[in-house]
Chains A and B, each alone.
Chain A
Amino acid sequence: MATLKRVFMYVFLSGAAAISIFPFLWMIISSTNRSVDVTQGRLLPGSALGENLSKAFEQIDILQALMNSAQISVITTLLALLISSLAGYGFEIFRSRAKDIVFSILLLSMMIPFAALMVPLYRMFGSISQTVPFIGIDTISSVILPTMVTAFLIFFFRQSTKMFPKDMLEAGRIDGLTELGVFFRIYVPTMRTTYAAAAIITFMASWNNYLWPLVVLQSPEKRTIPLLISNLGSSYSPDYGVIMTVILIATLPTAIVFFLMQKHFVAGMTGSVK
C-alpha cells in the first residue's frame, strides 16, 4: 500500500512536470526546424536555427522590438522601485493615523481592473497629445506612466520594512544624516534583497505587458515584443520556425532572470503574504 502510494506520487509529479515542460521543449525544438517540419509534427531538432534567426532579425526586425521593450521595462522598473520604496518606507517609518487611512485607500486601487482604466486613460493621453506631445499617445512615456506605480509594490515595500531594524535609522540621524540621507545611505543598501525581488516582479510585468501597449502604441516601429509576437501569431501564412525563434528570444530574458535569481523570485512572490 505504501509503495503503491509512492509510485502514484512519482508518476503524478512526473506527469505534471512533463506537461509543464513540453511546450518549452517544443518551442526550442521548433526554432531549429523549418515551417514545413513544424506543421508535420517533427519532434527532433533540425538544422534551420541559423536560417530562422537571420529571418527574425532581417525580415521581422525583432531587434527594434527588443530595444523598445528593454527601454520601457528598465525605465519602468527603476522609477517604480524608487517611488514605491520611498512610499513603503514613509508609510511604515513615519507611521500615523492619517497615513494609515491614506494607505488603505491606496490598497483599494488593487481592486480596479485594468480594462476599466483603459478607456479613460486612453482619452487622458489623447487630450495631452495636443499640448505635450512627448507624453501623449504613441510615446514610451504613455506606456510607462500608468503602469509604473502600483499599490501592490508599495504594500510589498511596506511589509518588508516592518522587519527592518529601526535602530540603524536612529544611528544615522545622530550621525547628522538628513531623512533622505538616512533612506539612501542606510535603508537602500540594507534592503538589497527586497529591491531585487521587487525589480524582478516589476521587470517581468512590464516586459510581458500586452493590453496597454496594444491600446496606446500605434506605429509599427514602436512595437514591443508582446505586440510583435501577437502580430506574428495571427498572420495568415505563419512561418512557424521563425515565430518559435522569436518567442524563444523573447522568453530568454525572463527565463535567465528566473534561473539566476530563483531564490529572490520565490521570496518576492510569497513575501507579501507572509
Chain B
Amino acid sequence: MNIKARTNAISWSFIALAVIMICIFYFYPMVRALMLSFQSGTGTNLSYVGLDNYARLLTDSTFRTALFNTFIYLIIQVPVMIILAIFISVLLNDPKLKFKGFFRTAIFLPAVTSLVAYSIIFKYLFAGDGLVNSLLMNLHIIQTPIQWITDPLWAKVTIIIAITWRWTGYNMIFYLSALQNIDNSIYEAARIDGANAFTQFTKITVPLLKPIILFTSITSTIGTLQLFDEVMNITQGGPGNATMSLSQYIYYLSFRYTPDFGYAATVSYAIVILIVIFSVIQFRLAGDRK
C-alpha cells in the first residue's frame, strides 16, 4: 500500500508543474476577468456595477463595428482560404506533377514569417503609391490607384488578402499530409466505375478530409476571432474603426484609451462566448453529415 501511494505520488509529480502553470496563467485569470466584468472605473479605481458593462455592450457602437468586422473576416476569409488550400493540395498531390517540392516550399514559405514583419511589408506594398497599385495600373486593370489602406471597404479587403497570403500554405500542409494517407486504389476503383474528377473530389476526397477540414476551420476561426497583429500594423484599425478587430478593441480599451479594465474584460468574455458557439456549430455541422 505504501509503495502504491508512493508510485501514485510520483506519477502526479510529473504533471504537477504543467497543471499548476495552466491554472495560474489561464484559469485563474479567466476567473479574475469574470469578476472584473462586473466592475467599472478608470485604472485601479474599480467599483462593483453589476451587469452595467454587459448592458453597455449592447449599445456600444465601436463594439458593434469590431464585432461586424470580425464576422466579415470570418465569413469571407476562412472559407476562401480553406477552399484554396484544399484545391492547391489536391493539385500538389497529383503523382505526375513536376517541381512538386518547389511549389510546396514556395507556397508554405509565408507561414515562417512573423505576423508583424509581413504586416509591415503588406502595408507598404498596398500603399496608395505602392507596388500593387502601380502593377495593376501598368497592366491596365485599373485606371486610378485603389485606396487599399484608407478606404473603409478596401482596407477590409487588404486585411483579408494579407491573412489569406499568410495562412493558406500553412493549412495546405495539413491537407497534403492527409491526402498522402488516402490509398490511390480508391480513386482507381472510382475511375473504373466511371466517376469523373469532380465526383471523385466531392465523393471521395472531401469526405475523407472531413476531420482535417473540421480541425483547420476551428483553428482558423479561433485565430480570426483573436486577430490583432495584422490590423494593428497594416491599418491600425482604421480608417475610422473600419478594420478594428475585437482583440484590438480590448487592447485599446485597456491601454490606449482611458483604461477601463472592467469593460475590457466584458468584451473579452464576448470573444470567449463566440469561440465556444462557433466550435459547437462546426462540430455539429461535421457530425450531421456522417
Residues of chain A having any CB pair with chain B under 8 Å? 9, 12-14, 16-17, 19-21, 23-24, 26-27, 38-39, 41, 83-84, 86-87, 89-91, 93-94, 96, 99, 102, 106, 109, 111-124, 145-146, 148-149, 151, 154, 179, 183, 204, 207-208, 210-211, 214-215, 225-226, 229-230, 232-234, 240, 243-244, 247, 250-251, 254-255, 258, 262, 266, 269-270, 273-274
Query: Across the interface, do A116 and B269 meet the contact criterion of CB distance under 8 Å?
Result: yes
Tell me which residues across on chain B come within 8 A of A258, comparing CB atoms.
Answer: 112
Given A9-B94, A90-B11, A154–B225 Cβ distance below 8 Å? no
Complex Cα gap A226–B115 (Å) = 8
Query: Across the interface, do B125 and A20 meet the contact criterion of CB distance under 8 Å?
Result: no
Query: Across the interface, do B250 and A115 meet the contact criterion of CB distance under 8 Å?
Result: yes
Contact residues of B: prevailing secondary structure = helix
Given A111-B275, A149-B25, A211-B228, A273–B222 Cβ distance below 8 Å? no
Query: Across the interface, do A94 and B14 meet the contact criterion of CB distance under 8 Å?
Result: yes
Considering only CB atoms, which chain A residue lies closest to B130 in the complex? A41
Min Cβ gap B239→A in Å is 15
Considering only CB atoms, which chain B residue lies closest to A157 in the complex? B18
Tell me which residues across on chain B come within 8 A of A14, comparing CB atoms.
Answer: 103
Residues of chain B having any CB pair with chain A under 8 Å? 10-12, 14-15, 17-19, 21-22, 25-30, 32-33, 36, 88, 91-92, 94, 97, 102-103, 105-110, 112-125, 129, 131, 134, 165, 169-170, 173-174, 177, 211-212, 215, 222, 225-226, 228-229, 232-233, 236, 246-247, 250-251, 254-255, 261, 264-265, 268-269, 271-272, 275-276, 279
Query: Across the interface, do B212 and A273 meet the contact criterion of CB distance under 8 Å?
Result: yes
Considering only CB atoms, which chain B residue lies closest to A5 in the complex? B197
**Contact among B17, B29, B120 for A247, CB-based, below 8 A:** B120
Considering only CB atoms, which chain B residue lies closest to A17 in the complex? B106
Complex Cα gap A234–B102 (Å) = 34
Query: Across the interface, do A109 and B112 meet the contact criterion of CB distance under 8 Å?
Result: no
**Contact among B102, B112, B222 for A255, CB-based, below 8 A:** B112
Tell me which residues across on chain A come within 8 A of B272, comparing CB atoms.
Answer: 111-113, 116
- How many residue pairs at the A-B interface have CB separations less than 8 Å? 234
Shortest 6 CB-CB distances between A and B: which pairs? A90-B14, A94-B11, A87-B18, A116-B268, A233-B120, A120-B29
Query: Across the interface, do B19 and A102 meet the contact criterion of CB distance under 8 Å?
Result: yes
Q: List 9 A-B contacts (CB under 8 A).
A: A12-B91, A17-B107, A87-B15, A109-B22, A111-B279, A118-B254, A119-B265, A210-B232, A255-B112
**Contact among A9, A118, A149, A179 for B91, CB-based, below 8 A:** A9
Considering only CB atoms, which chain B residue lies closest to A148 in the complex? B21
Min Cβ gap A67→B in Å is 17
Considering only CB atoms, which chain A residue lies closest to B169 in the complex? A20
Query: Across the interface, do A270 and B29 meet the contact criterion of CB distance under 8 Å?
Result: no
Tell me which residues across on chain B come within 8 A of A90, comparing CB atoms.
Answer: 11-12, 14-15
Query: Across the interface, do B129 and A39 meet the contact criterion of CB distance under 8 Å?
Result: yes
Complex Cα gap A24–B105 (Å) = 13
Tell me which residues across on chain A come within 8 A of B117, comparing CB atoms.
Answer: 226, 229, 247, 250-251
Tell me which residues across on chain A come within 8 A of B10, comparing CB atoms.
Answer: 179
Query: Across the interface, do A89 and B14 meet the contact criterion of CB distance under 8 Å?
Result: yes
Complex Cα gap A24–B276 (Å) = 37
Complex Cα gap A250–B255 (Å) = 26
Min Cβ gap A116→B in Å is 4
Query: Across the interface, do A230 and B232 meet the contact criterion of CB distance under 8 Å?
Result: yes
**Contact among B33, B121, B165, B170 for A116, CB-based, below 8 A:** B33
Given A9-B91, A87-B19: 5 more A-B contacts, CB < 8 Å: A93-B14, A113-B271, A119-B268, A230-B232, A266-B173
Complex Cα gap A93–B10 (Å) = 12
Tell me which residues across on chain A come within 8 A of B25, comparing CB atoms.
Answer: 117, 121, 145-146, 149
Query: Across the interface, do A118 and B251 meet the contact criterion of CB distance under 8 Å?
Result: yes
Min Cβ gap A148→B in Å is 7
Min Cβ gap B197→A in Å is 8
Min Cβ gap B127→A in Å is 9
Min Cβ gap B108→A in Å is 8
Query: Across the interface, do A116 and B112 meet the contact criterion of CB distance under 8 Å?
Result: no
Tell me which residues across on chain A come within 8 A of B109, comparing CB atoms.
Answer: 20-21, 24
Query: Across the interface, do A23 and B122 meet the contact criterion of CB distance under 8 Å?
Result: yes
Tell me which residues across on chain B come within 8 A of A251, comparing CB atoms.
Answer: 112-114, 117
Tell me which residues across on chain A come within 8 A of B120, comparing CB atoms.
Answer: 229-230, 232-233, 243, 247
Query: Across the interface, do B97 and A211 meet the contact criterion of CB distance under 8 Å?
Result: no
**Contact among B33, B107, B173 for A120, CB-based, below 8 A:** B33
**Contact among A9, A27, A183, A204 for B121, CB-based, below 8 A:** A27
Considering only CB atoms, which chain A residue lies closest to B267 in the complex? A115
